[in-house]
Amino acid sequence: MLNIVLHEPEIPANTGNIGRTCVATNTRLHLIEPLGFKLNEKALKRAGMDYWPSLDVTTYIDFQDFLEKNPGVKIYMATTKAPKVYTEAKYEPDCYIMFGKESAGIPEEILVKNKENCVRIPMVGDIRSLNLANSVSIILYEALRQNQFNGMNMEGHLHRLNWDETMK
């Protein structure tokens, strides 16, 4: 099971959308405080829709608390400051992928200690960053792809029609 870590997220709608993505992919969500919202906030629940009760989510007082409760885990860190592109990493089935807060990213003190596991999403020009929920989706789905989308539905079905009938 993959793990998404949000370091001090600030926007409830982003975290709600990420929670929904985690439920859809059987991924655990880890939230490192301080949060820029309360977990019972309407915007969080609205974005997470009715999936939020199914979410495997854990909160931590700070990054040190996270490390103490998850000793020895492999953490990839998504940052615009990384020299390596996210597709160059080899994501283990139980790895952790960490993202920083919307306004500032992951603190540089943490990045420096984890340089070999920092990854970036390529962008054009001077764009500061992508939306947090979009960034999580991009990298999470690459990790899932590398792990053959283990346990996920790989085929969809029409409700009223047959795919072959639509081709006539």
Q: Which residues are annotated as a binding site for S-adenosyl-L-methionine?
A: 100, 121, 129
Going by C-alpha positions, the residue among 82, 55, 78 that lies closest to residue 1 is: 55
Tokens 């992951």: give the residue: 106
Tokens of 110: 């943490």
Question: Which positions make up the binding site?
Answer: 100, 121, 129
3-class DSSP state of 53: helix
Residue 126 burial class via C-beta count within 10 angstroms: exposed 0-12, middle 13-18, buried 19 and up: exposed
If you ran DSSP here, which 8-state letter would residue 35 be given?
P
